[in-house]
Amino acid sequence: MKRITTYLLLLLMLTFSGVLAVAQDIKFTAAASHYDVATGDRFKIEFRVNSNIDNFKPPKISDFRVLSGPNQSTSMSWVNGKTSANISYSYILMAVNEGSFTIPAAEVTIEGEKYQSNTIEINVSKGANVQNNPNSNNTTITKGSGDLFIKSSVNKTTVYQGEHLVATYQLYTKVNIAANEMVKNADLNGFWSQEINIGQAQWTQEKINNEIWNVATIRKIVLFPQRSGELEIDPLEMRFITQKRVSGGQSIFDQFFGKVVEEEHIVKSKSIRIKVLPHPTPKPDDFVNAVGQLKMTTEVSANEVKANEAINIKINISGNGNLPLIDNPQINFPKEFEIYDPKITDNTKTSNTGVSGSKEYNYLVIPRYQGNFTIEPITFSYFNPSTKKYETLKSNPIVLKINKGDGSGNNVTYTAAGKEDIKILGEDIRYIHTDTPQFVLNTNNLYNSWKFYSLLLLAPLLFIIAFIVRNKNRAAMSDIAKVKSRKAGKLAAKLLSSAKKSLAANDKNAFYEATSKALFGYISDKLNIAVADLTQENIKSSLSNKNVDENIINSLIETIDLCDMARFAPVPVSEQEVYDKAENIIQQIEKAIA
């Protein structure tokens, strides 16, 4: 009977189970922020690949003026233990001539294989007059400028290893800035760094040599030197496009009011040398590289438990210092205890005073035997740069009374490699019965009963039903376009949630980029059109064919234009309005295309 039951179970399991292996396809695409522009307009092109690459060969761009690029950005994601990378190379271009132009394909090499992107078609209509030569009377490129510079400074140039310092970058200008682009961030070799959120740049005025300068802080970083010796903070490099009005010009208007001249500047800050002192010797045995002004508290979940029951011992380090870099405190646990790696919780914030807050180590221990145990006082030594001395914090001894465990034989163990959640295993070994057993005849025999024959008839029927369901599912999943269309709304919601996080962090560029990707990705999946082939014309025509209201379509196009415009110039609406509008548009299209 057991063999028959096992056979039926295996038959059903084989029917309903399957393995789906999906290999990641390498996608290398090219897209533009605008495909129809006028002369003098700036737009962005981006080459994106969903894999780590060995080499990037950029296209030859001869029909447009390159204002910036290639600018590389990389994002990593971890899903089910697998790491995936998305790498993009972007350019900021300016249209200089009328006509239709093709930006050639770029090429990447991945594990010896070469992949090419699609080409990009750009239509340029008549707009502002732009001279082809970037060094003409209309636009100049300079290395630095007497009207523009970046000042780099630190609050101290001599620190101990692990002691924080703050690096500040300020922009000084006497001219109007039309656009800017990060060329190269400062290399911070030998430092652990944490950005300070300064929000939107606030402009002030400063008088230098009887001249008034407009000043804005553009970046602030908290730095922790990781080794002693002479360290150097490399320059930060940026590209700016400025505008100023000068006398002269061909038209009467220019001769009367002066003409606007664009200038492109490559501006670098100065490098800064930092002297890092080593920690004094001898170091305490319990020194775990902690530096700052710190405090310690300990907490025990229970001082009296039964054997095989779990106890939580929490150690909380708080104050101001290099909290994210502190190693685990050293604790001498009794050998009769089973010890697991601590769960570490960081609750810190970064400001001009450094990194402050707390770091908690939660140890879960399981005493295996009864008795009275004492955990020696926990000591924690840190270096205080203010006093230039080591200071030691000490807890009280932890006294634990472990009673005899229950006779049920239950054990406590962890369920996963992370060893953070616990569960109770069942009684797999029972005590031996010493009394005389009594045997009872089992009259409820399944074999040769009506239930037995019903199950035999039911198994083939279940097999047929499962076969039909499986084939229907395969047919549905094989239509990739329909699957993508059904899931377009959910995918767009995830991308919009990323935009919402950027909005909360006051990162405007990331917000508009994420919102634009959400809208383009949604339309691409919903209409089964590749992102690279999306234009305003085919978006309008495709949505109209799906009977989407014209007001919704116009609102979508307007929002996409707003996102693109906001990367280069201020827009007349708030980020929250753009987010609400994008979310509402997706909901309306979902209702219209059921």
**Which one-letter amino acid corresponds to residue 291?**
V
- Tell me the Ramachandran region of residue 49: left when phi exceeds 0, alpha when psi lies from -120 to 50, beta otherwise: beta
Tens digit of each residue's pLDDT (9 = 90 or more) over 8-45 = 444 444 443 333 333 347 888 999 989 999 887 888 89
Q: pLDDT confidence of 591, banded at 50, 70, 90? A: confident
The β-bridge relationship of strands 272-277 and 158-160 is parallel
Model pLDDT, residue 246: 61
Q: What is the CA radius of gyration of the chain?
A: 34
Amino acid 192 reads W
Mean pLDDT within 415-431: 43
**pLDDT (tens digit, 9 = 90+) per residue, 364-373?**
999 988 999 9
pLDDT at 136: 38
**CA triplet 368, 372, 373: central angle to 5 degrees?**
75
pLDDT > 90: what percent of the chain? 28
pLDDT at 129: 67
Instruction: Give residue 576's pLDDT.
Output: 85
pLDDT digits (tens, 9 = 90+) for 265-303: 888 899 999 999 999 999 998 898 899 999 999 999 999
Label residues 134-165 b or e (16+ Cβ within 10 Å = b): beeebbeebeebebbbbebebeeeebbbbbbb
558 phi and psi angles, rounded to 5 deg: -65, -40
- DSSP result, 381-401: EEEETTTTEEEEEEPPPEEEE
Whether residue 128 has pLDDT greater than 80: no
Question: What local confidence, expressed as pLDDT, does residue 486 receive?
Answer: 66
For 525, what's the count of Cα atoms within 13 Å in the CB-facing half-sphere?
19
Q: What's the pLDDT tens digit per position in 154-207?
A: 999 999 999 999 999 999 998 888 777 777 888 788 888 888 888 777 889 998
Closest to 235 in 3D by CA, of 212, 209, 268, 284? 268
